[in-house]
Each structure stands twice: as C-alpha cells, then as structure tokens.
Amino acid sequence: MNSKHNYTDKALVNARQLRKQMTDCEQKLWYYLRNRQFAGLKFTRQVPIGNYIVDFLCKEKRFIIELDGSQHMSEEQESHDKIRDEYLKNLGYKIIRIYNNELSNIDNVLEYINQNIFPSPQRGEG
C-alpha cells in the first residue's frame, strides 16, 4: 500500500481504467461537477482511497458522491457498501449515494448534493 496517498497499487490501476470507461450516468454528473462548476469546488473522479475507489471526491470538503446502479440494491452489495462506507466515514469523509435513475432530474440531484455539502443550520435550536 502506498501510505503517502493511502491507496493500494491495485486500486490505482483500477481507478485509471474506470476513468477511461465512464458510464453514461457518470459522464452526465461529471459534466456538472468538473472544472469547479459546482459551487466553485474541485471534484475529482474515480479516486482510490485504501482498497476502494470512490466515484467523485471533493477533498476540500471531505465529501464523496457514489453513483449507484441497480446492482447496489442486492443484499450482498448493500452489505459491502455498508462496510465500505463505514471505512470511509472513519477516515472523516461524508458519503452520499445517488442512484442512476435519479439523474433523470439533474436539478434535484444537484440540489441534494448542495444540501449535503452545505447543510443549513437547524432553525429553533440553540
């Protein structure tokens, strides 16, 4: 494992391959996240962290967006995702999951991302 970057060599090779073969859904979301177009934040895609590769990462906010297809609805995959998410949360990352079919309303998806990166203070508390 490369401790400086906290990823394995295998994860790095896989991430490079995934960047070359983006799905249509990944391309659609990336269109709005790339080049600091979203709230001026820098996002990177297919980033290795430990043994895992996250779809989209904003290092500045320690924020991960996972774009999931229907295969993530299986019991086995949900269990794997839960372990993965716990690992990443323990490293200080916040993770949200967006299903591919939700991208049909990209405005709602972008608002959901915005609300999770910049949560508003709760009214009536304090």
**Tens-digit pLDDT profile for residues 46-86:** 998 988 889 999 999 999 999 987 554 657 778 888 999 99
- Least confident piece of the model among 18-22, 25-29, 45-49, 60-64: 18-22
For 92, 95, 117, 126, the CA distances from 87, given in Å and listed in that order, are: 9, 11, 20, 32
In this predicted structure, the answer to whether residue 4 has a pLDDT above a threshold of 50 is: no
Nearest to 108 by CA among 53, 29, 34, 2: 29
Higher pLDDT, 75 or 11: 75
Map out the domains of the chain as residue ranges. Answer: 9-117
Query: 């290795």: which residue's tokens?
Result: 48
Q: Under CATH, which number does the domain 9-117 receive?
A: 3.40.960.10
For 70, 116, 123, the CA distances from 89, given in Å and listed in that order, are: 23, 15, 26
pTM: 0.80
